[in-house]
Structure 1
Amino acid sequence: MISADLPTYTVTRKVTDAEIDDLNHVNNVVYNQWANEIAIEHWLNVGTEALKKQFDWVMIKHNLEYKAAAFLGDTILIKTQVGQATNVKYERFIEIYNATTEQLLVKTKSVWCAINKKGKPVKISQELRDLFETLT
């Protein structure tokens, strides 16, 4: 769950025609894509060049809870922040809202593994931990 006490990274976007399914709302797979995209964007925006040369991230577990539907043209607000870290993993929380009504549409909890440029898990450094705790 997103905590008001921790740094949060946010983006807004509009729902496009390509994201609508045969039920005339955002396809559930799209929420997964949005979650992946904001996690990557967050990393690319807060990571230092040195850290981005050392680390990449892969999602190894992802749970979505659907609360309400989004529709064509809706403005969407997506929030993310990191949670607990282990040696090589970080929790990540994402909440997706209708930006106009502020209705929660989806909430997620995922686990991401830090990997080196060869794809092998690597220990999360203190520098990386400090980065996620202080920057938004």
Structure 2
Amino acid sequence: MDSSLPIFEQHRRVSTNEIDDLNHVNNVVYVQWANDVASKHWTTVAPQEILDQYDWVMIKHCIEYKQSAILDDNILIKTQVGRATNVRYERFIEIYKEDSMELLAKTVSDWCAIDKNGKPVRISQELRELFEVAE
């Protein structure tokens, strides 16, 4: 992650419904966590009038699994945005076992801004500035 940009953090605890038949967090859950932290980041930085106009959709997602999380682990999820193009924003997410700060997974994804009709919109300077301010 780029230390010059703000990092948004979210804490959670692994629950029973996130555990698979191998007794660890199912890989699909990490993708859900990535989606959830990105969504929470957006709703935290954007004022209501912007939230009423725009949404984001994940259009590309690459994840690298490092270690397994298990039931009742405390998890720290960090995210920040990267480069932006006209309609895409890069997002980085790192998922840690909070007690040891052991990296469990890291992701790089591309997100597209959309209007409330689901049509892609240009990422304006106003949208870019929302992610550049420290939370």
- Unpaired runs of 5+ residues, structure 1, are none
Give the 3-state SS of the residue equivalent to 2:35 in structure 1: helix
Using the alignment, how far apart are the partners of 1:96 and 1:66 within structure 2? 10
Number of aligned pairs?
135
Note the 1:90-129 alignment, pairs <5 A: 90-129=89-128
Q: Which amino acid counterpart does residue 20 of structure 2 have in structure 1?
A: D
| Cα RMSD (Å) | 0.7
Tell me, yes or no, if the aligned pair for 1:46 and 1:135 is still in contact at 8 Å. no
Residue 68 (structure 2) pairs with residue 64 (structure 1): no
Matching residue of 2:74: 75
2:56 maps to amino acid:
W
Letter aligned with residue 118 of structure 2: G
For 1:135 and 1:123, the matched residues in 2 are separated by 23
Deviations, residues 13-38 of structure 1 (Å, cap 9, x unaligned): 10001100011000000000000000
Cα distance in 1 for residues equivalent to 2:113 and 2:3: 25
Deviating above 4 A after TM superposition, structure 1's stretches of 4 or more consecutive aligned residues are none
**TM-score of the aligned structures, taking structure 2 as reference length:** 0.98
TM-score by length of 1: 0.97
TM-fit CA distance, 1:52:
0.9
Percent identity over the alignment? Answer: 61
Question: Could you give the per-residue CA deviations for residues 19-62 of structure 1, whole angstroms, max 9, x where no partner exists?
Answer: 00011000000000000000001001110112111110000000
Q: Which runs of 5+ in 2 are unaligned?
A: none
